[in-house]
């Protein structure tokens, strides 16, 4: 939807959608007021069909999918044997098909891995990014809450739109808000993006995915031992943290830059944004034992810390406000 009035393209990996349409602060306020929509059509979409799809996905992933309410969006992870997050998707089942979206460019690897695990299961997996697009709007959050979803559900609000109907969708759901507004609200909620706020060593307990995307009361899945051990004993090696950045700098920190405490590297910087109330903020993975009162150096910008994931138990503690 870069042809909409005022659209300015975002940066990679989100360059295929608009960063804003003229006023990212105003767009944030409109979203918080329950108005408009966000174009996320650059995200990849996959489809899983077949009578065994939910039991099969339930066995392979971190989420309890056998009791998933119809059309209820949820987070789903695929872990390595050592518990590191390899794939992350957000999906729902409509009674015949499980639909999911993931980060731009990530569907091919995920579909390939799922295909390799089919064996005798009656399932079919396909990348349908060319056919289906993702959008988010607060009106869909309200509808999900009316249907029984929690008001602080990370995954409520997403919608799938056939690509040939995007123009009609935009006209009906507008006004459009850009990705900068969406990202600022996401970061303020302390909600990580896979591959941007995480790395190859990330376990779910470090970033608050236990609960939203990891169900603790289900059978065995790959990587479960690590998740269960850290959940039981506590003290994950790192913690997702919200950084409040010094606003005197007219820039945001570089994603992937080291986070410093004096001369010592204590973490890595993830995504950042300018929030209309909080000012410049960022997410970062920080070593568990770093004192929360310590002011850190985020790519040359002084940064105060606010807890997102409890460093002792590995659970998300920051209110997930929209």
Q: What is the Cα gyration radius of the chain?
A: 19
CB contact burial 33-49 (16+ within 10 A = b; e otherwise): eebbbbbbbbbbbbbbe
Give the DSSP letter string of 261-298: ETTEEEEEEEEEEEETTTEEEEEEEEETTS-TT--EEE
Asked, for residue 78, whether it belongs to a domain, the answer is yes
Determine what percent of the chain is predicted with pLDDT higher than 90.
89
Same domain, 265 and 303: yes
State the pTM of this model: 0.95
CATH number for 61: 3.30.70.1400
| Per-residue pLDDT at 322 | 41
Which residues does the chain have with pLDDT short of 50? Answer: 320-322
Non-local (6+) Cβ contacts of 277 within 8 A are none
| Domain presence at residue 35 | yes
Tell whether 274 and 301 lie within a shared domain: yes
Half-sphere exposure of 282 (CA within 13 A, CB side): 33
Q: Which domain holds residue 279?
A: 236-313
Looking at the structure, tell me whether residues 56 and 158 fall in a common domain: no
What was the pLDDT predicted at 311?
81
Nearest CA-CA partner of 238 in 212, 267, 200 = 267
At 218 the pLDDT is 85
Domain annotation covers residue 308: yes
Give the tokens for residue 90.
Answer: 């957000």
């Amino acid at each position: 939807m870069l042809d909409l009035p005022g659209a300015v393209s975002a940066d990679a990996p989100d360059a295929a959608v608009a960063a804003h349409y003229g006023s990212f602060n105003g767009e944030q306020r409109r979203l918080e007021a329950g108005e408009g929509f966000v174009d996320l059509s650059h995200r990849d979409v996959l489809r899983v069909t077949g009578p065994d799809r939910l039991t099969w996905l339930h066995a392979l992933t971190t989420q309890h999918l056998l009791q998933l309410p119809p059309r209820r969006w949820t987070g789903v992870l695929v872990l390595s044997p050592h518990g590191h997050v390899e794939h992350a998707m957000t999906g729902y089942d409509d009674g015949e098909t499980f639909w999911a979206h993931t980060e731009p460019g990530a569907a091919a690897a995920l579909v390939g891995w799922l295909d390799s695990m089919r064996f005798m299961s009656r399932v079919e997996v396909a990348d349908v990014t060319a056919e289906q697009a993702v959008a988010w709007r607060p009106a869909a959050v309200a509808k999900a809450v009316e249907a029984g979803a929690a008001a602080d559900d990370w995954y409520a609000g997403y919608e799938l739109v056939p690509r040939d109907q995007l123009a009609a969708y935009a006209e009906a759901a507008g006004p459009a808000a850009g990705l900068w507004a969406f990202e600022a609200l996401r970061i303020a909620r302390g909600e990580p993006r896979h591959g941007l706020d995480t790395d190859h060593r990330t376990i779910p307990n470090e970033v608050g995915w236990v609960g939203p995307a990891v169900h603790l009361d289900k059978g065995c899945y790959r990587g479960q031992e690590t998740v269960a051990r850290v959940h039981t004993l506590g003290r994950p090696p790192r913690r997702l943290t919200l950084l409040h950045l010094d606003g005197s700098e007219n820039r945001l920190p570089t994603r992937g830059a080291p986070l410093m405490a004096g001369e010592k590297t204590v973490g890595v910087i993830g995504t950042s944004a300018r929030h209309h109330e909080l000012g410049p903020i960022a997410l970062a993975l920080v070593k568990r034992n770093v004192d929360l009162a310590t002011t850190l150096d985020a790519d040359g910008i002084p940064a105060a810390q606010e807890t997102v994931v409890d460093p002792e138990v590995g659970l998300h503690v920051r209110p997930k406000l929209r």
